[in-house]
Structure 1
Amino acid sequence: MINFNGKLLDATNSNISYANRGLAFGDALFETIRVSGGKIFFWEDHYFRLMASMRILRMEIPMNFTMEYLSEQIFSVIDTSEKSKTHRVKMLVWREATGKYTPNSNDIGFVISSVKLEESFYTIQDSSYEIELFKDHYVTSGLLSTLKTNNKVINVLGSIYAKENDFANCLLLNEKKQVVEALNGNLFLVNGYKIKTPPISDGCLNGILRKQIIKIVGTMPDYILEESSVSPFELQKADEIFITNVITGIQPVSKYRKKEYASAVGKELIGKLNAAARLG
């Protein structure tokens, strides 16, 4: 089942118009949300990111788009018997209008879908996870790159490149040749007591898990977190590299070119992240 503008439909029989602006012009946003045990992880952060992004894109926010209303819409696509399980929920919001580049209104439509996940808690995967730089195309630093829009062609091409070359993931660069993020998450480098992540101003996604990791590290006296630009040369100097997103949690990188990495800090953070998820 999917939730289409507040109505439950069979996913196999639902249709979106060819004139949908998200399809035709990439005029859409989305949130990928983890729901477990009847709780939406970091729901407040997701909600306010969505509202802020809609305002930046000049979408009209409906009066009924409260946290409570959208929470109800999210749970509506999860079968009652499955609500104690864990789910990956995707909410897509687009400008519901005709017109070409200039829409004739800023009203919105939305669809919510759900897929069941196996793990109830975030876990660390110790399997091999080799990465490489994707240098065919660049992320543009600036506000629009920080939004979770459906303009993800670079991520698609990078994912194809990774698959063709047997890499688990790739890192994206901006036009200044700074490392911005991974294909599917934010990036953190560990070097001794310092944990470093690219700043939002470099064009990385304003990630929900990024925010949580920054908050958690701020409570750990043994580490200092730094938000500053990352050069490709720094990757091989790091003791540890990990990638974060709201579905996986923390994904340690095992290898980049000839450098192999530890995962001690990632393992130290995962328990604290699970605790934050249950509280937040």
Structure 2
Amino acid sequence: MGTSSIASLKCSPPMFDSIEWQPERREKYLVNGALCDANGLPHAAHNRAFQYGDGFFETIRVCNGVPQHVELHWNRVEKSLEAHRIEKPANWDIHGWKTALESLCQANGVDAGGRLRVSFFRMAGGRYTPQANALEWIAEVEPLDSNAYTLNENGLAVDVYPDMKKLNGPLANFKNTSALLYVQASLWAREKELDDALITNTSHSIIESTRSNLFLVSNRVLYTPGLESGPIGGVMRAAVINLALEEGFKVYECNISPGEMLRADELFLTNAVRGIQWVASYRTKRYFNTTSKSLIESLNSRLIA
């Protein structure tokens, strides 16, 4: 090709000037209180929670970028460690734990609503009989669309899961990593086109749902299954009981039967992440949501900023 041919070519300017390079955002985790990326996570094959269900977990709501109800969660963690016979490290205290969770939120840019999951398990080693009882833990966080607790617009439809019962025992009140009952009940609810399934114990009392604690309301009195009947000792359950008492409600812990469910004026579910979710129907019964609306407004007014 001659010089004149080269001069006649029309070349486009390079495109690289219009590209703005941005570094890849890597999710951060906590492993025993230290921040790391995914490469620093322990291998699942050696994790006793994965191998034997030997552990428990907490789910913590984040609002305004701040973990909520930390003291209630901490108290349950302490009781869970004791019940699972897992030994706490020497420097284990609520202040350090809370600071670590806050740093995880900041490292992942969760400055409004979010969901923390903290998994606790026994140190690797051994088979059914552990080689050691030392604590290891991992935390992760994800953002949520809503910064505050939001009451569901459409009430939930629920019914009792008939195929399995929850056994009561020393670990029944904790969020154990072995959760097959809740998984199977959730699958059944989906097959029945329900929003959630209610769980019964071996005495046939209704004690909770697959992911929440249960409250009935009748004449401005709240009723919830007692911990001795086997439900998860929910953090939001405790928060709502305290809040309801402050708001002038009477609260009773008692056994709940299908008959009580049908006689109630209102029915709502509580958990740490969603707060309060009102139930519209249980079988042929329909419910109101006046108390749910009132309590969730009070709950949001007490959020830590």
TM-score tier after normalising by the smaller chain length: over 0.9
CA deviation map 1:40-73 (0-9, x unaligned): 2111111111011101111110122211221232
- In the alignment, is the contact (CA less than 8 A) between 2:201 and 2:230 conserved in 1? yes
**Cα shift at 1:112:** 0.5
What is aligned with 2:122? 95
The 1:267–1:128 alpha-carbon spacing in structure 2 relative to 1, beyond 3 Å, is closer
Letter in 2 for 1:244: T
Give 2:96's aligned residue. 69
1:78 pairs with 2:105? yes
Whole-Å Cα distance in 1 between the matches of residues 55 and 208 of structure 2? 21
Q: Which position in structure 1 is the counterpart of 2:272?
A: 246
Alignment of 1:205 with 2:229, yes or no, is no
Q: Which SS does the other structure have where 2:86 is aligned?
A: coil
Q: Which amino acid aligns with 2:268?
A: F
Matches of 2:262 and 2:39 in 1, distance apart?
A: 47
* Residue pair 2:236, 2:272 contacting (<8 A) in 1 also: yes
Runs of 5+ consecutive residues of structure 1 not aligned to the other structure: none
Distance 1:81 1:24 in 2: 29
Q: 1:116 to 1:12 in 2, by over 3 A?
A: farther
Which structure 2 residues correspond to residues 233-272 of structure 1 after superposition, within 5 A?
233-272=259-298
Structure 2: state its 5+ residue gaps.
1-27
Q: Give the one of 124, 127, 139 matched to 1:112.
A: 139
Alignment correspondent of 1:161: 188
| Paired residues of 1:3 and 1:77 also in contact (CA < 8 A) | yes
CA contact (8 A) 1:30 1:90 kept: yes
Indicate the structure with greater strand content: 1
- How far has the Cα of 1:233 moved from its partner? 1.9
**Counterpart-to-counterpart distance in 1, 2:151 and 2:244:** 17
Q: Among residues 126, 135, 152, which one is paired with 1:125 in the alignment?
A: 152
Q: CA deviation at 1:32?
A: 0.3
Kept after mapping to 2: 8 A contact 1:208/1:245: yes
User: Counterpart of 2:80?
Assistant: 53
State the TM-score, normalized to the length of structure 1. Answer: 0.94
Query: In the aligned structure 1, how far is the partner of 2:52 from the partner of 2:242?
Result: 36
- Give the C-alpha shift of residue 39 in structure 1: 2.1
Query: What percentage of aligned pairs have identical amino acids?
Result: 29
Q: 2 CA distance for matches of 1:83 and 1:155?
A: 29
| Equivalent-residue separation in structure 1 for 2:29 and 2:96 (angstroms) | 16
Partner AA of 1:173 in structure 2:
T
SS class of match (1:89)? strand
Offset, 1:81? 7.4
Change (3 A) 1:253 1:123: same
Between the aligned partners of 1:105 and 1:258, the Cα distance in structure 2 is 52
After superposition, the C-alpha distances for 1:217-239 in whole angstroms (9 at most, x for unaligned) are 21233x32110000122111111
Task: For residue 259 of structure 2, give the secondary structure of its aligned residue in structure 1.
Answer: helix
**1:230 and 2:256 are equivalent in the alignment:** yes
Aligned counterparts of 2:230 and 2:120: Cα–Cα separation in 1 = 22
TM-score by length of 2: 0.86
Q: Does 1:149 align with 2:176?
A: yes
Count, aligned residues = 278
Could you tell me how far apart the structure 1 residues matched to 2:184 and 2:237 are? 23
Letter in 2 for 1:272: S
**Is the Cα–Cα contact under 8 Å of residues 170 and 182 in structure 1 kept in the other structure?**
yes
CA RMSD of aligned residues (A): 1.7
